[in-house]
Structures are given as C-alpha cells and as structure tokens.
Amino acid sequence: MSAALSLLDALSKLMFWIACALVVMIVCVVTYDVASRNLGLPTAIWAVNSVEYAMLHITFLCFPWLVRTRGHVCVEVLLTYLPAGLRRLWQAGLQILAALIAFYLMYHSGKSFFEVLTDGSYEVRAFDAPMWMLYASMPLGFGLGALQFLSFFPRHESFYGAPPEAHAGL
C-alpha cells in the first residue's frame, strides 16, 4: 500500500511541477506580448490562446497535490464544536463525498475527452488545436485528486490537518 501511495504522491507532485512550469511560461508569454506591443515589435497572435489553455490545465494539474497538502478551501466552524468521534465521522463522510464528486467529474471529462479524440474535433482560433488537448488534464487531475481524498484513510491522517481546536478563533 505504501508503494501505491508513494506513486500517487509522486505523480501528483510531478503534475504540480508541470503546472508551475506553465505559470512561468504564462509570465514569459505575457511579458513578451506586452513588451512587443509597446516597442512596436511583431506580436505573438498565439499568446492569448496559449495563456488560456495553460490556465485551464494549471487548474487540473494542481488539484491532486493541493488535496494532498491540504491546500483546498475548508470551513472548520462546525468541526470546532463537534465532539471528537462525531468530527471523525463527519470528516470521513466529507472525504468520501469529495472523492465521489471527483470520480464523477473524472468520468464525464474522460467521456468528453474520448468523444473529441475519436471524432477528431478541432478548436479553431488564433491557431488550430485538437479539442482533446483541452480535455487531456481533466480526467487525470480529477482521478488523482479523488485518490488523494481517499488516501487520507490508509495514511491515518486528518483531512483537515491540525484539529480545529488548535486554531479555532483565528
């Protein structure tokens, strides 16, 4: 089991670093685009579309690592006032619900991915791009994110990190 969890973490971290590289690419492309317009140089007509696609993929590439590192948004007001046993039950229910939602989204985005892959659809904008490229990171991100939600069980870790009373009132 620990080898599977290590592989899950390694894949999640790799996807996160790819997303980080895309952020650097966005900064470079936007900087070039703004500078070229102000200096009268030829502009990159592909810049806006590339940044849009990169931002889409960043969202799904980051998802599994954000779940693993507890970078997701969490409201702990209710947890603060629950007894420890009920809090653990509530957390387990939320982890399972979050994983089920992520698996559901993985299924539907995967279905869309394979539909556009098989029919050969293209998105025609500043440059032509196969539609499957838009969906490529979605099923992977949702699937690994769902597995990360479930991975808190075998790790015996809390979904929320520190107990709510450790930082209640902040």
User: 124-165, pLDDT tens digit by residue?
Assistant: 777 788 888 889 999 999 999 999 999 999 998 876 665 555
Give residue-wise pLDDT tens across range 58-88. 999 999 999 998 886 666 777 777 888 888 8
Query: What is the domain extent for residue 101?
Result: 2-166
pTM, 2 dp: 0.85
pLDDT value at 168 more than 50: no
Is-contact 139 106, C-beta < 8 A? yes
Alpha carbons 13 and 64: distance in angstroms, whole number: 8
Give the number of domains in the chain.
Answer: 1
Neighbour tally for 164: CB within 10 Å: 18
Alpha carbons 22 and 67: distance in angstroms, whole number: 20
**pLDDT given for residue 123 in this prediction:** 82
Higher pLDDT, 122 or 15: 15
**pLDDT given for residue 131 in this prediction:** 87
Residue 169 pLDDT grade (very low, low, confident, very high; cuts 50, 70, 90) = very low
Residue 112 neighbours by CB under 8 Å, 6+ apart: 135, 138
Nearest by Cα to 101 from 52, 67, 50:
67
How remote is the C-alpha of 144 from its chain's centroid?
Answer: 9
Total residue length of the chain: 170
